[in-house]
Chain A
Amino acid sequence: MGRHSNKGGPAALLASAALLALAGCTAGSGSSALASTPTPVAAAEEPYASTYEPFPGVPTAIVGATIYDGAGGMIEDGVVLFTDGEIVGIGGADLAIPAGYTRVDGTGRYVTPGIIDIHSHLGDYPTPSVDAHSDGNEATDPTTPEVWAEHSVWPQDPGFSRALANGGITTLQILPGSANLMGGRSVTLRNVPSRTVQGMKFPGAPYSLKMACGENPKRVYGGRGRMPSTRMGNFAVNRETWIEAQEYMAEEEPGRDLAMETLAGVLSGEILVQNHCYRADEMALVLDMADEFGYRVSAFHHAVESYKIADLLREHDVCSAVWADWYGFKMEAYDAIPENAAMIHQQGACVVIHSDDENGIQRLNQEAAKAQADGHRMGIDIPDADVISWITLNAARAMGIDEMTGSLEAGKMADVVLWNGDPLSIYSRPEMVWIDGAVMYDMNDPQMRPVSDFELGQPGEGDVK
């Protein structure tokens, strides 16, 4: 964790905040004795370390906007101050603006934290979506905890720029696909153009292990005449693998084993679990499997039936990362309903709106707004400011980065979106996006729109997209 200590200022804050975040995760990771066992293999230096550094910005005051702070707060005619990459203040019109701050007129506009997508495949399933770019599923074995999504990410995926300009996405988690029960490690990225994936990696973000239950693993492997071909096979393979990980952790001097290092990281609480799962009954079984082996599921992804067990999810403090209204495309999505998010929220459980889609990531604000409206029509009224947390702080929390970003709070990263209207309205678009206090997108400045290498010299290069 000390790899950023050579930098002062915000970077130092990042490193210490990351420690806090991880401590929080460990504390909540269940009662197993294994949870306190350190990872057996600690590389001298973390490999493939982030080389991201914030880009230059100027001290900025956004004045006169309606602010959703991401943590459930709303301020009308408010002020947001940031400098050196950090939020330094947020308040009403009476908040003093220090000398030397550049004022941005927020009149008639809205401010939110940078939008966060907890479930993306940008870079590992980039466009153009040709076979040669299909790098998201190592579908050669049902358990591949040894693979790391970052080794598949193509930083030139044009989708990153669309997510930034149209969706206000500042942070995103790239997950391996769901063909495998254990698909590999995720990587959390800053949504900045970069020549390398290391230049995008979110400093201090914990890794997650992508897991999947249900139809996909049993279809992929059952179709090849190998285990698992059933849901009970899914669980058997998972449990055998967790036992293997426990045995690995019990060894006095375990050798290098990429798969076991990842699983040991999960069992020791350093690596989070993001679990693709649709059906309520399967989620309940996964929660018991987590108890059996002493790990914690951070979020169920897709979770189209969370509304059936929202009480259970609240008790286990597990987030549901859901679409607003995808349904019916596969058997385990047949009972998906548009009220899912609102009904989860109503039970007091954690909601995250995710995309899993290079188009959907450009409109998480609209998806959240639809889910809010579907709740309203059944009598569940959720304040706008809470709905914004579904695509900001709640996502950050389920990714273990909520101490660093996800809300507009002094000391956090200055990840900020200025919208040209209410972000919960169809008629609004991001006007400016700051990442760590640096302007990365400006609707009114054609040059402030990144163009990937792939698009240079192509029709529509630099177009509004």
Chain B
Amino acid sequence: MNRLLALAASALAVSGALTCAPAMAQNVAITGATVAMGDGSEPVENATVVVQDGRVVAAGAGVAVPAGVPVLDGSGMWVTPGLFASLTSLGLVDVSAVSQSNDIEADDSPFGAALDVAPAINPMAQDFGYSRAGGVTRASVTPEAGASIFGGQGAIVDLGADFDAVRHPRAFQVVEMGERGARLAGGSRTSAHALLRNALHEAGSFGDAAQLRSGGSAGGGNTVVGQDSRMPGNTDRSGDVLLTRFDAAALVPVVRGEQKLYVRVERASDILAMLALREEFPALDMVLVGATEGWVVAEQIAAADVPVIAVALRDLPVSFEQLAATQSNVGRMVDAGVRVAIGGYDSSGDHPRNLPQQAGNMVALNRVPGATGLTWGEAFAAISSVPAEVAGLGGRVGVLAQGAHGDLVVWDGDPLETSSAPILVFVDGVEQPLTNHQTRLRDRYRSLDESERPRAYEW
């Protein structure tokens, strides 16, 4: 414990010194730690990680620390890339049951696909800080479908303690195509498919007519944010249209394959129906979200080269579209060659900062005869590099590769173990505060002594 405290203290000293010299704040080296690269490989002991100017310079055994880079002794610690949490509501909600504080879905909105989470995200929401303290440094923020099958456009954020959270606005579009999509579409999957196909056709022709340029996909290969494709064109549409002009414009980059389409779907047959849709719309850049029965059609998903974001531990037939649910879903899909990120939170207890628990259970599963889990390296990749790749940020976050963002987490033990937690968190090489409402409450109520004055004076 003394070593941990010393490490924390030294890190704080580093960042304190940096207040006067901001550029240096983005330089840090950690030596002697057990390092997990995030790329699926197994952890490396007694390794070093170097971050300069906010980017990873080197990571591994035998790495030398350049002169002038502050060094932290990480012996006894683990160092990993920051976690990438997919499908979060970070910054969209303070208290989910307090509707005024909840911007996750817009049930009564006249818009669907045009909805954009980017301007609604509040990086000061407590859940940002709470997730950061759990080692989450990047996340996708995902709207839920409310009034139509389209949920709108999600964004990729970093969890640095500043207002500059949205790094990739309009990174993907969300569409509901399972049981929920059927209800939103008017009562049947038939209507959901008709609505989706019609919308994509409208967007295709609308884009041509309006001569819209699109952008904003995080998959664009650079960090430049493209022109917002919703910029209204001046072309009047005629005839039989269902989408508002704004919604149609929002779908232009989807139908062109320039913006990812996150398809929420669970049932094996629904997955195949979505994969088949690419015959009609070959450019679609789909991600399957949910895919509880994905293992049943894992070969087809792999052949289609469509990635998946799945909840790791679903094992109950919660609905008729999840009858084949098993905790082996992720492992079986990975074995079939599918890229699978772990993400999604089924109960109030599932939280982005509990992603290591989901991943750790995948490792435990390998010891159950007949079950298929993940190796440690695969499991950690499923909450770091793989979700980053799925988001279109492969090689840039979620991995300790040269040139990647300097998002580091220093843990007090194996990060997948229940007993471990982050000690230090860096975003782009900058050490982050780990305090939040919850830690302040903890500190206030360490003692219940009110003999001198009420606890309210302890802050």
- List the interface of chain A (C-beta within 8 A of B): 127-130, 158-159, 162, 166, 215, 307-311, 323-331, 333-339, 343, 347, 357-360, 362-363, 366-367, 369-370, 372-374, 376-378, 420-421, 424-429, 443-444, 446, 454-455, 458-460, 463-465
Given A328-B127, A331-B98, A427-B367, residue A464 in contact with residue B328 (CB < 8 A): yes
Most chain B beta-carbon neighbours within 10 Å: one of A159, A424, A427: A427
Partner of B327, one of A331, A339, A366, A465: A465
Given A358-B316, A460-B323, residue A372 in contact with residue B419 (CB < 8 A): yes
Which 6 pairs of residues, A with B, have the shortest CB-CB distance?
Answer: A426-B360, A459-B324, A330-B97, A369-B418, A464-B371, A460-B324
Which partner residue on chain B sits nearest A328 by CB separation? B95
Q: Does B368 lie within 8 Å of A443, measured CB to CB?
A: yes
What is the distance, in angstroms, from A329's C-beta to the closest C-beta of chain B? 4
Which partner residue on chain B sits nearest A347 by CB separation? B448
Bound form: Cα–Cα A111–B327 in Å = 24
Query: How would residues 221 to 252 of chain B score, 1 for a CB under 8 Å from any chain A CB and 0 otherwise?
Result: 00000000000000000000000000000000
Bound form: Cα–Cα A329–B98 in Å = 8
B346 CB–A CB distance under 8 Å: yes
Q: Does B317 lie within 8 Å of A310, measured CB to CB?
A: no
Given A158-B316, A360-B347, residue A337 in contact with residue B442 (CB < 8 A): yes
Query: How would residues 361 to 404 of chain B score, 1 for a CB under 8 Å from any chain A CB and 0 otherwise?
Result: 10111011111000000000000000000000000000000000
Given A129-B318, A460-B325, residue A326 in contact with residue B348 (CB < 8 A): yes
Q: Does B317 lie within 8 Å of A357, measured CB to CB?
A: no
Which partner residue on chain B sits nearest A338 by CB separation? B438
What is the distance, in angstroms, from A33's C-beta to the closest C-beta of chain B? 33
A421 CB contacts on chain B under 8 angstroms: 367
What is the distance, in angstroms, from A124's C-beta to the closest C-beta of chain B? 15
Bound form: Cα–Cα A328–B313 in Å = 22
Which partner residue on chain A sits nearest B376 by CB separation? A427
Which partner residue on chain A sits nearest B323 by CB separation? A458
Which partner residue on chain B sits nearest A324 by CB separation? B349
Bound form: Cα–Cα A331–B77 in Å = 37
Q: Does B317 lie within 8 Å of A127, measured CB to CB?
A: yes
Q: Does B326 lie within 8 Å of A464, measured CB to CB?
A: yes
B328 CB contacts on chain A under 8 angstroms: 463-464
Q: Does B126 lie within 8 Å of A373, measured CB to CB?
A: no
What is the distance, in angstroms, from A332's C-beta to the closest C-beta of chain B? 9
B435 CB–A CB distance under 8 Å: no
Which partner residue on chain B sits nearest A368 by CB separation? B418
Main secondary structure of the interface of A (DSSP, over half): loop
B313 CB contacts on chain A under 8 angstroms: 359, 362
Given A310-B448, A424-B419, residue A159 in contact with residue B316 (CB < 8 A): yes
Bound form: Cα–Cα A425–B324 in Å = 28
B163 CB–A CB distance under 8 Å: no
Most chain A beta-carbon neighbours within 10 Å: one of B319, B326, B348, B357: B348
Q: Does B354 lie within 8 Å of A325, measured CB to CB?
A: yes
What is the distance, in angstroms, from A341's C-beta to the closest C-beta of chain B? 12
Bound form: Cα–Cα A169–B360 in Å = 21
B293 CB–A CB distance under 8 Å: yes
- List the interface of chain B (C-beta within 8 A of A): 94-98, 126-127, 130, 268, 293, 296, 313-320, 322-328, 346-351, 354, 357, 360-361, 363-365, 367-371, 412, 416-421, 437-439, 441-442, 445-446, 448, 455
B365 CB contacts on chain A under 8 angstroms: 429
Bound form: Cα–Cα A429–B371 in Å = 12
Q: Does A326 lie within 8 Å of B349, measured CB to CB?
A: yes
Given A329-B95, A366-B418, A460-B326, residue A323 in contact with residue B349 (CB < 8 A): yes
Interface pairs (29), CB distance under 8 Å: A127-B316, A127-B317, A158-B316, A309-B448, A323-B349, A328-B95, A328-B96, A329-B95, A331-B95, A333-B95, A335-B441, A336-B438, A338-B438, A339-B442, A343-B445, A357-B347, A362-B315, A363-B357, A370-B357, A372-B419, A420-B367, A421-B367, A424-B418, A425-B418, A427-B360, A427-B417, A429-B364, A458-B317, A460-B326
B316 CB contacts on chain A under 8 angstroms: 127, 158-159, 162, 358-359, 465
Partner of A444, one of B94, B324, B347, B369: B369
What is the distance, in angstroms, from A459's C-beta to the closest C-beta of chain B? 4
B442 CB contacts on chain A under 8 angstroms: 307, 337, 339, 343, 378
Bound form: Cα–Cα A429–B313 in Å = 14
Q: Does A427 lie within 8 Å of B347, measured CB to CB?
A: no
Q: Does B367 lie within 8 Å of A376, measured CB to CB?
A: no
Q: Does A359 lie within 8 Å of B346, measured CB to CB?
A: yes
What is the distance, in angstroms, from B203's C-beta to the closest C-beta of chain A? 35
Which partner residue on chain B sits nearest A365 by CB separation? B418
Given A331-B97, A373-B421, residue A128 in contact with residue B320 (CB < 8 A): yes
Which partner residue on chain A sits nearest B354 by CB separation? A325
Q: Does A325 lie within 8 Å of B326, measured CB to CB?
A: no
Partner of A128, one of B318, B417, B455: B318
Bound form: Cα–Cα A366–B438 in Å = 21
A325 CB contacts on chain B under 8 angstroms: 349, 351, 354
Apart from A128-B318, A443-B368, 18 more pairs, CB < 8 Å: A308-B448, A309-B448, A323-B349, A327-B130, A328-B95, A329-B96, A347-B448, A366-B418, A376-B419, A424-B418, A425-B418, A426-B360, A426-B416, A428-B364, A463-B324, A463-B326, A464-B326, A465-B316
Q: Does A330 lie within 8 Å of B326, measured CB to CB?
A: no
Given A158-B317, A358-B316, A427-B367, residue A373 in contact with residue B360 (CB < 8 A): no
A362 CB contacts on chain B under 8 angstroms: 313, 315
What is the distance, in angstroms, from B322's C-beta to the closest C-beta of chain A? 8
Bound form: Cα–Cα A377–B420 in Å = 9
